[in-house]
Structure 1
Amino acid sequence: MHKSCSLILICALFSCILAGCWDRSELNDLGITSATGIDWSEGRWIISYQVVVPSGMWSGTGGNGSSSQATIHVFSSEGKTIREAASNSNLEIPRQLYFAHTDLVVIGKAAAEHGLADLVETYLRSVEARESVVMAVTEQRASDILKLFVPLERIPGDAINKIMSKQEAISGYFSIVRLIDFARDLYSDSRTTGVPEVNLRGKRDAEAHSELTSQDFFKMTFSDSRLRLTGVSVFKDARRIGRLDLKESFGVSILSAEVKKSIVAVPCPSASSPNGFSSFRVEKNKDESDP
């Protein structure tokens, strides 16, 4: 009897300290955010969220079917601070935003020139945000970038991430910059860093494409509006102070020994054509100071 009472007491004690499901969140209650956009207008922060629509991702049995619903929904909220803008998002979306899968943050031109100190502080202090998110700057509004569907990919934020990763591995014009890298460079001796730029190219604007579903967009054989990496925005003390085009960015990458692989075209004076060019492949870029 004594042993039974002791066993019951021990079980009761363990039940008090074991983790439970009291704070669980159901999947149907979450809004999975794939990318975030940061804009600045008239003294207020505008935060845009690219939320995945699960029903739009469904492709039918065996992948043969299709869904006419868009795969993402983009909405914006604003506030005097970034935290207030994020809090105000609860006024218009029925689900709790979930940032564990957010891999990209796009910075609009006005926000970049205003300064990103508040953004860095918010990401580094928040337990929900990921400081490993990839950063990109645009000359347009960040919300316009998030609204544009990218061919061959269902989630635009993921597509931009893949374009930047592929460029870094194959072309070497510039390296991917994550928010933690951006914050670290701001505390370096130069307090200067560069962030890749992604911009809209073409005649149609993003608003026209945002009205199309992803299925409609994928059926198009040609799009007048597309996303393209165009260079690097230069920041000092978290504020954008200038820009580098692709050629200048590649030069900086060469000098910094950050090129992993690339193709370089050079003129051929001895060629039959005066405008003849040849190309060679860069397999490795090494700093002379390295052992």
Structure 2
Amino acid sequence: MKRNLRRIIIVIVVLLATTGCGRATELNELSIATGTGIDGKKGDYSVTYQVSVASTSSSASGGGSVGASSQAGVRVFSSRGKTVQEAISMSAVEEPRKIYFAHNNILIISKETAEDGITPLLDSYFRNPNSRETVHVLASQGQARDILTKNIPPEKLPGRAISEVVEKEKFLVSFYPATTVFELALGITSESRTGVIPEISVSGEDPKELESSEVMSKTAQSAKLRLTGLVIFKGDRSVGKMNLEESLGMSWLTNRVKGTTLSFPDPDSLGEENQSAVRICNAKVKVTPVKGLLHYTIKVKAEVSGELIETTSEEDLTDTSGIDKLKQQIEQVILRQMEMAWASAKAMKVDILGIGNKIHVRNPKEWHKLKPNWDEELARMDMKADVKVKVVRTRLFLNSFRQMMNKTLE
């Protein structure tokens, strides 16, 4: 009995001695990064950190007082090094807190860094246990730091706001596909060796205005951060950029359209003055490489449905022939966007559709023969697209309001 009691006492003493937070890090010892930017090139990197200010981070998620509305929610600083990790380590000579990347929302890569190659960046990123591969990655026209220093009213945390813009854009308009660090790495290491990331830029008369906390109390700003293009990677280097229509065409071809709004000319209009609009609700696109006698052909089959949300057409929408004419116009718009994207991809010699991946999965031996001269084979490929559109609803009005007005004048 005494022996058992002695054992219990020893266990209790040991447990008491080993409890506590000896290795724990307190929250006030951390700088929580909400956005990160990479500038420079191999041998000379600059890493920029956008870290949240503790006094405003709580109000950013739950609403704060009016008096704190003009206070900046973040602070921004940079450090340099020969490698990405050395640059991060150099932050310790000026930053009293350890930088914590687990809550990072965005990674911005400058044009110079993207053109030089992002292999060192990705290698460093995936070796860091605190970094999340689900972070959205974007490219900047100029310095990545210039993006991270800008506020996005009314949001207190610009990094989180940019991430939300990218995520919502994916479902509302699908212009520029949202890409995570993992998806980018997966794309450039696949057989197609292609990756895409949205480009973010500052537009407006006075970009410096967005760097002041006073902008948070203004009703209008003279500058804005916005998505402006789609940067294309071949391997680990950027090789070009697509504009809005080309990028939307790429979204069609890669089956990434979650929703978008298309304007198209009315069937009875001679010019571009009278336009109608359709809201795309559902899209299913399948791309198949078909081997011919001399080279491959890309066959595209698209099934799209949408709602007519605006029209000035004189067509009788109560009749199927009137609806059919509208559908043909919509199909032509989608087809044109696909062709623009395909032409742009061929000009840059990039396999944005993942054709190489498809051939490799179906016929590894065939791909082994094609791979050494894949750029030339890609340039010879033609695309044949079949687009079918279904207009599921015409809303409250069957015919256009313009048609109703014309009838009252008769």
* Common topology (TM > 0.5): yes
Q: Which residue of 1 aligns with 2:46?
A: 46
- In structure 2, list runs of 5 or more residues that go unmatched: 288-300, 302-410
Runs of 4+ in 1 over 3 A off after TM superposition: 9-16, 56-59, 62-65, 271-274
- Between Structure 1 and Structure 2, which shows a larger proportion of helix residues? 2
CA distance in 2 between counterparts of 1:247 and 1:20 reads 58
* TM score, norm. by length of structure 1: 0.90
Distance 1:138 1:125, change over 3 A: same
Q: Which amino acid aligns with 1:102?
A: N
Distance 1:193 1:273, change over 3 A: closer
- The number of residues matched between the two structures is 283
CA distance in 1 between counterparts of 2:29 and 2:39 reads 27
Distance 1:257 1:91, change over 3 A: same
Distance 1:283 1:20, change over 3 A: same
Q: Which amino acid aligns with 1:279?
A: A
- What's the C-alpha RMSD, in Å, of the aligned pairs? 2.2
3-state SS in 2 of match to 1:153: coil
CA distance in 1 between counterparts of 2:7 and 2:41 reads 66
- In structure 1, list runs of 5 or more residues that go unmatched: none
CA distance in 1 between counterparts of 2:171 and 2:20 reads 44
CA distance in 2 between counterparts of 1:248 and 1:164 reads 18
- Relative CO higher for 1 or 2, CA cutoff 8 Å, sep ≥ 6? 1
Q: Which amino acid aligns with 1:112?
A: A
Q: Which amino acid aligns with 1:7?
A: I
1:268 is aligned to 2:266:
yes
- Asked if structure 1 preserves the Cα contact closer than 8 Å seen for 2:134 and 2:182, the reply is yes
Distance 1:112 1:155, change over 3 A: same
3-state SS in 2 of match to 1:283: strand
1:27 is aligned to 2:12:
no
Q: Which residue of 1 aligns with 2:159?
A: 157
Mapping of 1:1-291 within 5 angstroms?
1-11=2-12, 20-40=20-40, 43-57=43-57, 63-67=64-68, 69-206=71-208, 208-210=209-211, 212-213=212-213, 216-271=214-269, 275-288=273-286
* TM score, norm. by length of structure 2: 0.65
Deviation (angstroms), 1:42: 8.9
- Asked if structure 2 preserves the Cα contact closer than 8 Å seen for 1:269 and 1:276, the reply is no
Deviation (angstroms), 1:9: 3.8
3-state SS in 1 of match to 2:283: coil
Spell out, residue by residue over 1:116-137, the C-alpha distance to the aligned partner (whole angstroms, 9 max, x if none). 1011101111112222211000
Spell out, residue by residue over 1:98-127, the C-alpha distance to the aligned partner (whole angstroms, 9 max, x if none). 111101011111111111101110111111
Question: Percent identity at matched positions?
Answer: 34
CA distance in 2 between counterparts of 1:42 and 1:209 reads 30
Q: Which one has the largest radius of gyration?
A: 2
